[in-house]
Amino acid sequence: MAEKAKKLGTDAYKGVRDFFPADMAVEKRIFDIWRTATEKYGYEEYNASVLEPAELYKAKSGDEIVNEQTYTFIDRGDREVTLRPEMTPSVARMVAARKRELLFPLRWYSIPNLFRYEQPQRGRVREHWQLNVDLFGVDSISAEIEIINMAYDITRAYGLKDTDFEIRLNNRKVMNYVTGEVFGMNEQMAKKVAKLIDKKDKMKADAFEIGIREVFGVGDIMDNSQREAGEKQADKLLTLLNSKNFEEFVSRLPQTKEEHVGLKEIREVLKGLERLGITNVRFDQTLMRGFDYYTGIVFEVYDMNPANRRSVFGGGRYDDLLSLFGNDKVTAVGFGAGDVIARDLMETYGTLPKSSAPADIAICIVGEQNVPYALDVAQSLRAKGLKVVVDMSDKKIGDQISNADKRGIPKIIVIGDEEVKTGRLKIKTLSTGVEEPLTI
């Protein structure tokens, strides 16, 4: 066989995205929404490297995630290094490193790219960008209100109306109170229940019910009275979990003189948001948001689009992140929001930015000898803050104009011998054909 030159493939690495300018314009729009929304509240941007010591993730999340879902490798200096799969450990590390010098509270945000080794599928990529917002050092519930307010602003900025989405709210303190105090579960039982509730949306109603009954031992070998007691407890919990709203939920709990602090917090957040005009919020006793981190209020933004109801993003309070570094507690409330679902929402709701022109003006040139003059004109216009592209193709003038038009550039200036001689220039708006004299 004849020799054949080896030809390189042009595909990106599996599961990651190339951002051609049209794609990048969407990313930039999303980042812009994120930056505008957070900076309005006085949040400052930070960043860290993509590369982190692998131990940062092992300590927190157990070995599973480090072994199976992260990009972890040994560098040439025998260090185990991970491509960050999330930003929270990095920001906790940074805050712990300078805890004494930093002026609390910290209002911080970042837009890192994060990596997970997953089988690529719709909505799941191996590298994605995520807004991370954290308010460190505020104990009061005002922190939750501010954070949820920002999440609301961002969702609105994606183009959703209040009726398009819902903010769901729960409180870890309430869940702990219910499982621990109201039902007297041990930690193991409580965890099983939490796990079941977390998966409730993805389970059939039957399966969920059976699962809850199993937690109470129903079905194991037990005598009749034990079974009855277990069934009674299970029914009570299922009824509680099926409460239609916050007041119904509260009414099914033991009535105490002073309301439980977790319930009070929910009440305050609901009231605080309502006062700010945010009324598409509802208490959701089944909202769990995983098992780690969170210690208080948790929330999620839900897309209510009937064609594709889903969680969009969320967050909550986590008061114990820095203890891994031997630091005192620093309270924190925060959330993360990803670029893939943001783009998807903007597509769904028709708010993707129109592809914008790369320039305000195209300068078309008749005759190579007039290029230097054209470059001069371009520089003068740029000095005025205009974006100017110079056509260097030496093509026919019609082709140059059509090229500008294809790129969406709204105005053109034609420069030929006459213009160079007289210095009299005209600027033409392509959509109307109107020409106006131009003085530099």
Nearest CA-CA partner of 294 in 321, 325, 322: 321
What is the Cα–Cα distance from 8 to 25, expressed in whole angstroms? 28
Query: Which residues, in sequence order, are bridge partners of residue 113?
Result: 129
Among 65, 71, 210, 217, binds a second copy (CB under 8 A): 71
What is the Cα–Cα distance from 152 to 313, expressed in whole angstroms? 11
Taking CB under 8 A as the criterion, which residues in 114-133 touch a second copy? Answer: 115, 117, 126-127
Q: Is 5 in the site for a second copy (CB under 8 A)?
A: yes
In the complex, what is the shortest distance from the CB of residue 411 to a second copy, in angstroms, rounded to a whole number? 12
Taking CB under 8 A as the criterion, which residues in 137-166 touch a second copy? Answer: 138, 140, 142-143, 145-146, 149
For strands 106-110 and 297-303, give the pairing.
unpaired
Taking CB under 8 A as the criterion, which residues in 337-366 touch a second copy? Answer: 358-359, 362
Taking CB under 8 A as the criterion, which residues in 80-119 touch a second copy? Answer: 81, 83, 93-94, 96-98, 103, 105, 107-108, 113, 115, 117
Q: Is 282 in the site for a second copy (CB under 8 A)?
A: no
Q: Is 32 in the site for a second copy (CB under 8 A)?
A: no
For strands 297-303 and 165-171, give the pairing.
antiparallel
- For the chain, the distance separating the N- and C-terminal CA atoms, rounded to the nearest angstrom, is 64
**Separation of CA 324 from chain center:** 25
Nearer to a second copy (CB atom), residue 193 or residue 389: 389
In the complex, what is the shortest distance from the CB of residue 270 to a second copy, in angstroms, rounded to a whole number? 12
Among 1, 2, 3, 9, binds a second copy (CB under 8 A): 9
Nearer to a second copy (CB atom), residue 133 or residue 390: 390
Distances in Å between the Cα of 144 and the Cα atoms of 314, 332, 349 are 12, 9, 27
For strands 388-390 and 361-365, give the pairing.
parallel
Nearer to a second copy (CB atom), residue 197 or residue 390: 390
Kindly determine how many residues on this chain lie close enough to bind a second copy according to the rule CB under 8 A: 97
Q: Is 62 in the site for a second copy (CB under 8 A)?
A: no
Taking CB under 8 A as the criterion, which residues in 310-329 touch a second copy? Answer: 324-326
**Angular region, 433: left φ>0, alpha ψ -120 to 50, beta rest:** left
